[in-house]
Structure 1
Amino acid sequence: MDKAPKSTSLDLAALEELLQQGAVRTLFQPIYDIAKQHVLGFEALSRGIAGSNLELPDRLFSLASAHGKLSELELLCREKAIARFVEQDLPGKLFINVSPNTLLDPSHPKGETLHLVEKYGLAANRVVIEVTEQDKVDDGFLLLKTIEHYRQLGFKIAIDDLGAGYSGLKQWSELRPDFVKVDRYFIDHCDQSIVKREFLKSIIELAKVTNTSVIAEGIERLEELSLLEKLGIEHAQGFLLARPAHQPPVILDAAQVMQLKLRPQGEYSEMTMSVGLLAQIESAIDQATRCKDAHKRFEQNKLLMSLAVIDAQQQPVGLLHRDQLTEVFAAPYGHALYAKKPVTELMDKQPLIVNENAKLDVVSQQITEQEFDIRRHIIVTRDDRYLGLAPLRDILKHITEEKIRHAQHANPLTMLPGNVAINEAIEQRLRAHHNFSLAYVDLNHFKQFNDLYGYASGDSVIKLLADVTVQVCSQSKCFVGHIGGDDFMVVFDGTDAEHLCHQIINQFELQSKAFFTSEHVEAGGYWATNREGQKQFVPLLTLSIGLVRPDLDSCNNSHQVAALATDAKKEAKRYRNSYLFVCNRRKPAAPVVRIKSQAQECLV
C-alpha cells in the first residue's frame, strides 16, 4: 500500500485554497505523428501555483489522494484542460490523464466529462481518456464497464505508462484501447539496450494485430527517436520534440524535421528491415590496444566472439576475432611474440562495414558475394562512426524468415505478393501520406478460354499477364501483386500510371495471341457455348483495368482504396475490348442505408 506523503497543515490549507480558487495551470505537450510529420494531439499536464510546494504534479496529486480530494482535483484539472484546449483552438486530439481509482470512486460525479465537452463545444471523439497502468485496481470488471461507457459516449481510450504497472498485457486485452503509451523506462537509451529494443518490437507487433496505435513518450535523445522511427513507431512525444508549454507549437517545421533527421515523407522500404536494428552494442577497442589486453577482454566475457577496432575518430579499421587470437596465443612462442604487439597485427583488415540504414537484402547480397564465414560479425556504422556489431547468423536468419513470410502470402502460380502484401503496400503509403495510384487488372473472357484450351493453357496465360505486368512496371517504381485467379493489382508511385497501363494492355494483347490457333486469331475470336447452352462468339483475351488515385485525407485504410479500384474495374468491364477506365472519384463511397418497409418489418 502506498505511503501517504508527509504533509503539514499549511500544505492542506494550500490544497483547499487551490481547489476553491481553481488555481490549476494547464500545460500542453504535443504528440507528433512522425510518419506524416504533423501533430496528432496534445497531452494536458496540470501544475499547481508556481513557486509553491504544490506546483509539481506528483506532490499535488499525492496530497489530494491522501486527503480524499483526488476526484475533486481531477475534475478541476479536466475542466481547465478542456477550456484551454478550446480557447487556443489547438488541432488534433486532447489527451487527459484519469486515475482508474477516480473512475471507480462512488462519489465521483458521473457524466461530468461529457458535460464539459458539450459545455465548451468540443467533440467527444477528439478527447482521449488516458488510464494509467501504474495504479493497482481491485475491481477490474467495474473498470472495464466504466471504460466501455466512455467509449460508447464517443471518447477514445489510451493506456498510459504501458510496462510500468500491475496488469500490463491483460489490461490491454480487456480495455481494447485506441492508443498505448509506452512507459519512458523502455524509451530511455533504447538504442543501447537489446532488451528494450526487443520489448518495443513485441509491442509494435501486438499493436498491429489489435489495431492499436503506439505512442512513445519521454523521448529525449536523437538516437532514441531514430531507432523508434526505424522500428515503425509513428507517434512520438518528449522533450526532444517539444517541452510542455502554455502555448505549445502546433507543427513540425522543415528546420525541425531536418534537425531531428526524420525521413522525408514517402520514403519507405517495401521489403526488408534495416541492419541497424540487429546491431549489438558492444564497445570497441582502440587500434593501439595490445593483443594481451584484448585477450584479457575475451577471457572476461566468454560470449564475446569479435571486437571492432577503431581509430581516434571512432571509425572502424578492422575486426579482431576470438578464435584467431586464441589460436596464435596457443602456438609455441605465440604469446611471447604477440602479447605486446597492437591488435592491428592480428585483426581482420577487410571486414564488412555497412551503414545502419542499409537494408538486410542488400547486406545479405554483400555477404554471399564475398563469402564471409557465417560465424563472423559485420561492423555497423552511423555517420561513418562505429555503432555496433551484427552477427551474420542473425542477418541470414531474418532474411530467411522474411522470405518465408512473403512466400506464405505469395500466389503459388506466379509467386507474386498476395493480398496481405498488397494491403501492406497500400497501408504503408497511406501512413506515409505518399501519393500513389492503384490499378485493378482483370482478364476478360478467361473462363471460356480455359474451358476451350484447358487448365494448363489457362495457367500459362495468367503467368504471361504476370510477366508482362512486372516487365512493364520495371520501368518505374511500382508494386505488383496477384490477388488470385486472373486478378492483379499494381501500386504506382510515379505519375506515369496511365502510360504503363496502356503498355500492359498492348503487350499482353500482342503476346497472348500465341495461345490461340491461327484460325481463331484470324477470326478475332471463336464460337463457344454459354451457361444457357447457347452458342456465342467470344473475342480473344482482353484486359479491363480500373485506375484510381485515392485522396489520402479521405481514405483511411487499404480496404477503402481497394474498393475504389474495384468499382473502376467494373466500369472498365462494360467495354467489349481492352479498356483502361481512369476513375475521377478519389474518396470512399458513402455508405448506403436501406430503410425497411412496413411489410419487411413485419417479417423480421
Structure 2
Amino acid sequence: MGVNKVAELERNILQNILEQGTITTLFQPIYDISKQEVLGFEALSRGVGCLEMPERLFQAASTHNKLSELELLCREKAIERFVTQQLPGKLFLNVSPSALLDPSHPRGETRDLVEKYGLATNRVVIEVTEQDRVDDGFLLLKTIEHYRQLGFNIAIDDLGAGYSGLKQWSELCPEYVKVDRYFIDFCDQSIVKREFLKSIIELAKATSTSVIAEGIERIEELALLEKLGIVNAQGFLLAYPQTEPVIELDASQWSALNLKPQVPSNEHSISIGWLAMAQNAIHQCTQCKDAHKNFELDKKLMSLAVVNEHREPIGLLHRDQLTEVFAAPYGHALYAKKSVMELMDKQPLIVDENAQLDQVSQQITEQEFDIRRHIIITREGKYLGLAPLRDILKHITEEKIRHAQHANPLTMLPGNVAINEAIETRLRKQSGFSLAYIDLNHFKQFNDLYGYASGDSVIKLLAEVTVQACENSPCFVGHIGGDDFMVVFDGDDAQQLCHQIISDFEQQSKAFFTPEHVKSGGYWATNREGQKQFVPLLTLSIGLVRPDLDSCKNSHQVAALATDAKKEAKRYRNSYLFVCNRRRPTVSTVRHGQTQTECSA
C-alpha cells in the first residue's frame, strides 16, 4: 500500500474514532510501596485497527491537525471510566504541551468534564510530558498555572527523556515527577543511573515534590528504588494496564515482590534485610553432584543455602569446599550421590531480616567468620536470601564514615544533615512523631565566667543526659550546634522524657558551679551594657511540637514549628517545657502572652 493510501486510511480511521468515540481506556496502578497501597491510576488510551497503539494514534492526530480533539476525547473517556468504576486515589491524565498550546484547544473543558462526572479536581493529576519541545515556555507556564488554580495537581512525565525537564521542574513546581523508564531499566546495575536517581531524590526533597518511578519490570529495580527512598512505583512488575485494573495487591503478592523491611527508627543503623540478595536455595536431600552443577552453571555463585521441607535454613554449601572435595582422588566417586548435608557448613550465621547491621557486625567479629563467606537472612524463620560478609562490613564502614562526616565534633551526635534526614524520612512515610528543640539558658554568661573548657563539658553533659533519657524509647537525638539540640520522638512519651531531661540536667549541672553559687541559685555577672546583673544557674528551654503530616511538606517547616515553640519556652525564667498545639507551618511569627499549650497560628 502506497504512502498516500496509508495516510488516507489513517485519516478515515481517526475520523471514525473521533465521531464514534471508539477509544478504550486502560488504567495502570501507581502504588505507594511504603504503605503498600494504591496512590492512583494512569489512564492510557487505545484506538482501533492500525491506530490501536497510542504512538501511532497520536502521531496520526498530530499529522491531521486533530490532536486537540483526540486528547479531549481520551480525557473524557478516562474520567468517565474512572468514576464509573469508583477507582480510589488520583487519576493521572496525559496531556501534551502541543495540545495545551493549540489555539483551538477549548479552555475550561477539563474542569467541565470533572464537574460533569462528579470528580473532585484535587483527585486529578495533569501529566505534562517532557518529550515534546515547547518553544513558548511562558505560555505553557501560564496554562499550567491555570490548571493549578482550578485545583488540579501537576506532574512532569518522562523526566530525563526530553529537552528541558529540570527547567520545567523549576518553573512548573509540580506535585509529582515521573522518572523516565530509561533510568529505571537495570538501574541496580548502573552507577550512572543510580546517581541520577539520587540527584532527583535530593531535588525532590528540596522542592517538596513526590517522585514516581515508572516502567519497573524487575524485582532488583524495585528493591533499589525502595532503598533509595522512592516510594511511588509503577510498572509491569506490579500490575499491567487493564480496563478493570487491580486496585490492591494482597499480602502474598507484596511478599512475593520481596520488598525489604522499613528503615528502623534508629537512624544509626539499618536492617540487614536491605542487603539480602534473592538467591535460590537447595533442599537438604540434594545430591552433591547436582549442587556442583549449580556452581558450574553460575561461575559467580559462591555459596548455596540449604533448607529443609519447611524452607528453614539448616546450612550453607560453599563452592570452594565442594570443588576441593571433587578434585581429590576418588572424591567425585565418594561424594557425588551423597546429600549436601555431608559437606555443608552446619553452623552458618543465620539472622532475621530486621536485625540491625551493627548487631550483625558484632556477631561476625565475635564468632570470627571468614570474610569470604555469606550469612543467611530469614523472614519469619523462612529462608529469604544471602548477604556477603564483605558487603556487610563495607556498608558498615561507609555508614560510620558518613555518620562521622556529619556528626558534631564535640558530642559526636548526628548534626543538621542527619536531623533533616530523620525528619524527612518520617514525613515521607507518614509516620507520626514529635520534635523537641532543646536550648541551654544563661550559657554565655557561664562560659565567660567558668571558661570554654567548662562550657564544652556542660554541652557534653546535656548530650549525655539526653541520650541516656531516650535510650529505652524509639528516639533520634541530634546536635544542631553550640548549645542547641533536637530530639525526634517516635513514641507517645515525649513530654515525660523532656521533663526527665530537664530534671537530670539541672541536678547534674550543679557540679560545674562553686558551692556558693549553688547555694545562692546563681551569680552576679556583667552584661553586654556593662551593668551588673544576677544570672541564675543553667536551665533548659524545650519547645515540643507534633507536626501535622499532611500539612508539613519538609523538614524546614517542622524545624520552624519547633523553633517557635522553643522561643516561647525561653520566656520563662526557670527550666520550661512548652508544648505547642499548632501543628501546621505558618509564615507568622510567635506572639507573646500565650498559655503553655498554645502557640501562635
| 1:563 and 2:556 matched | no
In the TM superposition, residue 487 of structure 1 has moved relative to its aligned partner by: 0.7
Q: 1:333 to 1:348 in 2, by over 3 A?
A: same
C-alpha distance in structure 2 between counterparts of 1:258 and 1:363, whole Å: 28
* Residue matched to 1:363: 360
Q: Does 1:523 align with 2:520?
A: yes
- 2:414 is aligned to 417
Report the more deviating stretch, 380-389 or 507-516. Answer: 380-389
For 1:228-377, list aligned pairs within 5 A.
229=226, 231-237=228-234, 256=250, 260=254, 270-295=267-292, 297-299=294-296, 301-377=298-374
**What's 1:501 paired with?**
498
What does 1:134-213 correspond to in 2, within 5 Å? 140=133, 142=135, 148-153=141-146, 155=148, 157-161=154-158, 168=161, 171-176=164-169, 178-182=175-179, 194-195=188-189, 202=195, 204-211=197-204, 212-213=209-210
Q: CA deviation at 1:483?
A: 0.9
Which residue in the other structure is 2:569 paired with? 572
**Structure 2: which amino acid aligns with 1:309?**
V
Matched-pair contact (CA < 8 Å) for 1:230–1:274: no
TM-score of the two chains, using structure 1 as the length reference: 0.80
Q: Does the 8 Å contact 1:520/1:526 carry over to 2?
A: yes
Residues 478-537 of structure 1: CA deviation (Å, up to 9, x unaligned): 221111111111122222222221111111111111000111111111111111111111
- Residue 230 to residue 345, structure 1, CA distance change in 2 (3 Å): same
Distance in 2, Cα, partners of 1:257 & 1:335:
45
CA contact (8 A) 2:127 2:154 kept: yes
- For the pair 1:18 / 2:11, whether they are aligned, the reply is no
Partner Cα distance (1:227, 1:127) in 2? 29
Tell me what 1:43 maps to. Answer: 42
Equivalent residue in structure 2 for 1:544, among 541, 544, 550:
541
2: CA distance between counterparts of 1:263 and 1:74?
Answer: 40
Shift of 1:248: 7.7
**Is contact 1:30–1:244 with CA below 8 Å preserved after alignment?**
yes
1:67-86 pair list within 5 angstroms: 67=64, 69-81=66-78
Deviations 1:171-190 (A, max 9, x none): 543433653435668879x8
Instruction: Provide closer, same or farther for how the CA distance between residues 141 and 202 of structure 1 changes in structure 2, counting only shifts above 3 A.
Output: same
| Cα shift readout 1:317-357 (whole Å, capped 9, x = no counterpart) | 32222332343345455455444444322221111233444
Equivalent residues in 2 for 1:578-589, closer than 5 Å: 578-589=575-586
User: Partners in 1 of 2:408 and 2:383 — Cα distance?
Assistant: 42
- Cα displacement (A) at 1:397: 0.9
Cα pair 2:188 2:221 within 8 Å, conserved:
no
Contact 1:418 1:483 in 2 (8 A): yes
Q: What's the CA shift for 1:564?
A: 1.3
Cα distance in 2 for residues equivalent to 1:590 and 1:38? 34
Q: Is the 8 A contact 2:283 2:308 kept in 1?
A: yes
- The alpha carbon displacement at 1:558 in A equals 1.6
Q: Which amino acid aligns with 1:482?
A: H
Shift of 1:11: 6.0
Give the conservation status (yes or no) of the 8 Å contact 1:7–1:63: no
Distance in 2 separating the partners of 1:16 and 1:291: 67
Q: Which runs of 5+ in 1 are unaligned?
A: 593-604
Q: Which amino acid aligns with 2:300?
A: L
So what's the TM-score if we normalise by structure 2? 0.80
Q: Deviations over 1:161-210 (max 9, x none)?
A: 56xxxx6497543433653435668879x8xx9538x7885454222221
- Contact 2:435 2:487 survives alignment (8 Å): yes
Whichever residue aligns with residue 455 of structure 1, its letter is: Y
CA-based RMSD of the aligned residues comes to 4.2
- Deviation, 1:247, is 8.6
Provide closer, same or farther for how the CA distance between residues 277 and 100 of structure 1 changes in structure 2, counting only shifts above 3 A.
farther
TM-superposition CA deviations, 1:347-383 (whole Å, max 9, x none):
2111123344444333323322322111111223455
Residues 234 and 559 (structure 1), Cα distance of their counterparts in 2 relative to 1, 3 Å cut: same
Distance in 1 between the 2:497 and 2:545 partners?
A: 14
Secondary structure of the 1:443 match is strand
Q: What amino acid is aligned across from residue 33 of structure 1 in structure 2?
A: D
Counterpart AA for 2:447: N
What amino acid is the match of 2:277? Answer: Q
> C-alpha displacement at 1:578, in angstroms?
1.1
Assess if the C-alpha contact under 8 Å between 1:194 and 1:280 holds in 2: no
**Please, which of 471, 475, 479 is the counterpart of residue 478 of structure 1?**
475
Label 1:460 to 1:232 Cα distance change in 2 as closer, same or farther (>3 A): same
Question: How far apart are the structure 2 equivalents of 1:585 and 1:283?
Answer: 52
CA gap of 1:113–1:233, structure 2 versus 1, over 3 A, is farther
1:60 positional shift: 3.8
One of 532, 536, 542 as aligned partner of 1:535: 532
Alpha-carbon contact 2:502-2:575 (below 8 Å) kept: yes
Q: Which amino acid in structure 2 is aligned with residue 518 of structure 1?
A: P
Provide the residue aligned with 1:602 in structure 2: none
Change (3 A) 1:433 1:520: same
The number of residues matched between the two structures is 570
Q: Is the 8 A contact 1:419 1:483 kept in 2?
A: yes
CA contact (8 A) 1:82 1:116 kept: no
Deviation readout 1:518-564 (Å, 9 max, x if unpaired) = 11111111111111111111111111111122222222222112111
1:443 and 1:541 in contact (8 A); partners too = yes
SS of alignment partner, residue 565 of structure 2: helix
> What amino acid maps onto 1:496 in structure 2?
D
In structure 1, C-alpha distance between the alignment counterparts of 2:216 and 2:381, rounded to whole Å: 24
Letter in 1 for 2:103: P
User: Pick from 111, 122, 130: which aligns with 1:117?
Assistant: 111
Segment of structure 1 superposing worse, 217-226 or 14-23: 217-226
Measure, in 2, the Cα distance between the counterparts of 1:38 and 1:358.
26
Q: Distance in 2 between matches of 1:61 and 1:518?
A: 85
Change (3 A) 1:244 1:67: same
Distance 1:449 1:275 in 2: 46
1:450-469 correspondence to structure 2 within 5 Å? 450-469=447-466
